[in-house]
Structure 1
Amino acid sequence: MDDIQPGYLVGLLIFLLFCSAFFSSVETGVLSIDRYRLRHLAKQGNRAARRTSWLLLRTDRLLGTILIGNNLVNVVASSLATLLALRLWGDFAVAPTALVLTLILLIFGEITPKTYATLRPERVAFPASLPLLWLQRLFSPLLWLMNGVSNNILRLFGLDATQRKSKPLSSDELRSVVSDSSEKLSGNRQDMLLSILDLEKITVNDLMVPRNEVQGIDLDGELESIISQLRNTTHTRLPVFRNDINQIEGIVHIRQIARLLTHDQLTKESLRAACLEPYFIPESTPLTTQLINFQKQKRRIGIVVDEYGEVIGIITLEDILEEIVGEFSNADALRNPDIHPQSDGTYVIDGSANLRELNRTLGWQLPSEGPKTLNGLVTEALEQIPDCPVCLRIGPYRLEILQSGENRVKSVRVWLTGRAAAPLQDSPDELA
């Protein structure tokens, strides 16, 4: 060492500083890389991604390789700096040199490279995967010894470092991943993915057409009335029943009887013969399950029943698809017969309007976890059916009951006040 020129020692010290920066940046870059993107790139055939994935299969060996290299480099650098200080300035320069070297290593060998690796993990991890693989093979005997001792210590605490369990993402975690991908996903696609995740929380009962709004064919009615209804309907599928929808006979597709209608040959017997068997659905079925069931059963419409077997509504495949992708056209979204915009910016809304449809159409956030209709929301807040004009506030929304009767609220004027959200029931007895 005494024969080595100080210039060579300085050059070697700078090289070791770069090596320290390499190991520090690689440690942060490999462990910070997005595992899902890494898996995607590896499946596409990216060799660097495959190497990185293989290294991450055993993080104990990976960290051991990095730590051996980093500590070895830092120790040699410290020894060289001490030797250089002794040869150039004597014993009194050893302590200041150690302090200066520590600062240099912290700034250029730790903080700066690790910060860069955090911001650009792929740019650091992919090129470094090949030398890391070589170093791991070179250090394999030492790694085997070190990891053996370390793993035995971990077993004392009930941990097994050799087992790697892939923890699946929960729905909420997946929602966060989708929300954080706004820069790479368009708004429509992001909304669709989030809507698919929401299907698990929504049941058939939340989306069905309620029984009192179901359009169907009563076989006990006059034939002329049935034919007129079939010719004027806007639906392609209709339930067929006798006297009461609980006595449902089946589902008729207009296409199956179009020829009979055209040639005035339709009879009640031929109408009944053209019906498919009804498909019944429990009201508590999640939409994700029902979407799969529609596919398995090759159905597009289902009859929703409660726990007593009573028909409470119908739901179609289109209803579920609209929950995912939104209304199929702007005209559909604006053509809601329950909503009547007023010139003063308020809305007169039918009490039977579905809360989820109101929120989707108007961009509101009326609570829809409990009651399904505006009438149900008002009566729950008031804890009674109002028999006179009443005004109440639900969150930032002001509601004025305009008409009530027949045991329900028939119409309500609603507008957004812009106030901070309030509890569900706020001054329910405040008179208009």
Structure 2
Amino acid sequence: MMLASLWLTALAILFLIALSGFFSGSETALTAASRARMHQKEKSGEPGASAVNQLLQSRERLIGSLLLGNNLVNILASALATTAFLSLFGEAGVVYATLTMTLVVLVFAEVLPKTWAISNPDGFALKVAPYVRVVTLLFGPLVIAVEWVVVRLLRLLGVDTKEGQFLSGQDELRGAVDLLHMEGSVVKDDRDRFGGLLDLEELDVSDVMVHRTNVMSINADDSSTSIVEQALKSPFTRIPLWKDEQDNFVGILHAKDLLRALALVKGEPEKLDIMAVASEVWFVPDTTSLKGQLNAFLKRKSHFSLVVDEYGEVMGLVTLEDILEEIVGEIADEHDIDVKGVKKEPDGSVLVDGSVPIRDLNRVLDWKLPDEEATTIAGLVIHEARQIPEPGQGFTFYNFRFRVLRKDRNRITSLRITPVK
């Protein structure tokens, strides 16, 4: 009779250990499962994905139910094992039961199922989700009561459970992409495109605009023949027109509009009224976000605008292509002048034009120079040096050595940058 009782107790303990492994593995799989992948699986109609998503919508209830079930079966299994060992070994059975159950629970109810679950969390979660839903329904009321008690106890200790630091969706996506890049699942170009897309909200048009010192423009008071010649020699499709002074922009000359007008006057440019051909200038504030400007371009079906500061002074121009390049990288066509301003040297240093944007340099060389205080690499050197350096001067910051090679008046035109090993 006693032998039969021991066998029944052993079978009950094995069953409880299996249940404990189920709870442990389910907790690991469901907390590690990707919500994005599960959402996509549910849309494609994969069985079990809907149950997983419903469980993940209430993580506290899910984890509380699994912990409650896990502790319940572990304690019950330990109690049965202690009773069995006491009948076999007397008072020493307590020690034997403690050592045996610790080893069994650790291996078969914790490490083994959790390792199995983490090796394929999505697949494991899909299989156990229907059964876990039953567990959450059974233990749900008790878990709610426990949560209520815990919240009150924490409040007595001065802990507000509603406070917390949560990542925004953009930060979460950025972190996931960076992690996948470190693991080798996402290549650098794709990581840069994801990052550029996420940065649109944080960047202003002043961060990507072409500065007015580099803007090609045409004097509207020039003869029609001269304006046509300048437009045809230009590599750009849209060219700003100015009158009286170079900051007084009065129109935008589009190459297609100019060609249509030339066709109407049978190729005689002296008969053209340039201002009648030019379109109206669109001015935008320099504080406009790239996302907002992209939406404005799409809404107005325009690709070109001039950027002004708070005083109404023209700072530069921004195009749809400038914004798209923040996402996909440099876009070049057969009419672009291929001057990147970045040249790698055999000794590991890099020759850089002062006007090269810091973001472009980081993208090309996979560096992490800060771009909060300056837009161009020359601006960063001036900001950190707190002076306008002379040719030959060198500075070291952010683990790079910056040496000024050339300067034009107060502008740094060429630098040599060497990573500090």
TM tier relative to shorter chain:
0.7 to 0.9
Query: For residue 408 of structure 1, what is the amino acid of its counterpart?
Result: N
Shift of 1:192: 0.2
Equivalent residue for 2:196?
195
Query: For residue 85 of structure 2, what is the amino acid of its counterpart?
Result: A
Equivalent residue for 2:275?
272
Q: Is it true that 1:144 corresponds to 2:141 in the alignment?
A: yes
Equivalent residue for 2:315?
312
Given that residues 350 and 417 in structure 2 are in contact (C-alpha distance below 8 angstroms), is that contact kept between their aligned partners in structure 1? Answer: no
Provide closer, same or farther for how the CA distance between residues 218 and 174 of structure 1 changes in structure 2, counting only shifts above 3 A: same
Query: For residue 175 of structure 2, what is the amino acid of its counterpart?
Result: S
Provide closer, same or farther for how the CA distance between residues 287 and 99 of structure 1 changes in structure 2, counting only shifts above 3 A: same
Equivalent residue for 2:101?
101
Equivalent residue for 2:299?
296
Superposed, 1:18-417 pairs within 5 Å as 18-90=18-90, 92-137=92-137, 139=138, 143-145=140-142, 147-148=144-145, 150-152=147-149, 154-155=151-152, 157=154, 169-182=168-181, 183-261=184-262, 263-266=266-269, 270-329=273-332, 335-336=338-339, 351-357=354-360, 360=363, 368-373=371-376, 376-377=379-380, 379-380=382-383, 381=385, 383-384=387-388, 386=390, 389-395=391-397, 396-404=400-408, 407-409=409-411, 411-412=413-414, 414-417=415-418
Equivalent residue for 1:430?
none
Query: For residue 180 of structure 1, what is the amino acid of its counterpart?
Result: L
Deviation per CA, 1:227-284, whole angstroms, max 9, x where unpaired?
2112222111111222324332222221112133353244576322222211101122
Distance 2:123 2:187 in 1: 26
Given that residues 352 and 417 in structure 2 are in contact (C-alpha distance below 8 angstroms), is that contact kept between their aligned partners in structure 1? Answer: no
Could you say what secondary structure the match of 1:180 adopts? helix
Could you say what secondary structure the match of 2:416 adopts? strand
In structure 1, list runs of 5 or more residues that go unmatched: 421-432
How many residues are aligned here?
411
Shift of 1:286: 2.2
Shift of 1:290: 1.4
Distance 1:345 1:385 in 2: 23
Could you say what secondary structure the match of 2:4 adopts? coil
Given that residues 357 and 376 in structure 2 are in contact (C-alpha distance below 8 angstroms), is that contact kept between their aligned partners in structure 1? Answer: yes
Shift of 1:336: 0.8
Provide closer, same or farther for how the CA distance between residues 169 and 418 of structure 1 changes in structure 2, counting only shifts above 3 A: closer
Shift of 1:54: 1.7
Given that residues 284 and 308 in structure 2 are in contact (C-alpha distance below 8 angstroms), is that contact kept between their aligned partners in structure 1? Answer: yes
Query: For residue 174 of structure 1, what is the amino acid of its counterpart?
Result: L
Bigger mean CA offset, 169-178 vs 88-97: 88-97
Distance 2:335 2:368 in 1: 20
Could you say what secondary structure the match of 1:257 adopts? helix
Provide closer, same or farther for how the CA distance between residues 341 and 124 of structure 1 changes in structure 2, counting only shifts above 3 A: closer
Shift of 1:125: 2.4
Provide closer, same or farther for how the CA distance between residues 108 and 238 of structure 1 changes in structure 2, counting only shifts above 3 A: same
Shift of 1:344: 8.2
Query: For residue 279 of structure 1, what is the amino acid of its counterpart?
Result: W
Distance 1:160 1:365 in 2: 37
Could you say what secondary structure the match of 2:296 adopts? helix
Given that residues 197 and 327 in structure 2 are in contact (C-alpha distance below 8 angstroms), is that contact kept between their aligned partners in structure 1? Answer: yes
Shift of 1:316: 0.8
What is the TM-score with the length of structure 2 in the denominator?
0.82
Deviation per CA, 1:1-39, whole angstroms, max 9, x where unpaired?
748364444333322221221122222322332333333
Provide closer, same or farther for how the CA distance between residues 75 and 329 of structure 1 changes in structure 2, counting only shifts above 3 A: same
Given that residues 26 and 117 in structure 1 are in contact (C-alpha distance below 8 angstroms), is that contact kept between their aligned partners in structure 2? Answer: yes
Distance 1:80 1:347 in 2: 72
Distance 2:37 2:126 in 1: 13
Given that residues 85 and 94 in structure 2 are in contact (C-alpha distance below 8 angstroms), is that contact kept between their aligned partners in structure 1? Answer: yes
Query: For residue 16 of structure 2, what is the amino acid of its counterpart?
Result: L
Provide closer, same or farther for how the CA distance between residues 9 and 153 of structure 1 changes in structure 2, counting only shifts above 3 A: closer
In structure 2, list runs of 5 or more residues that go unmatched: none
Query: For residue 245 of structure 2, what is the amino acid of its counterpart?
Result: D
Distance 1:348 1:68 in 2: 63
Query: For residue 176 of structure 2, what is the amino acid of its counterpart?
Result: V
Shift of 1:371: 4.0
Distance 2:300 2:12 in 1: 74
Provide closer, same or farther for how the CA distance between residues 361 and 117 of structure 1 changes in structure 2, counting only shifts above 3 A: closer
Provide closer, same or farther for how the CA distance between residues 312 and 45 of structure 1 changes in structure 2, counting only shifts above 3 A: same
Given that residues 62 and 136 in structure 1 are in contact (C-alpha distance below 8 angstroms), is that contact kept between their aligned partners in structure 2? Answer: yes
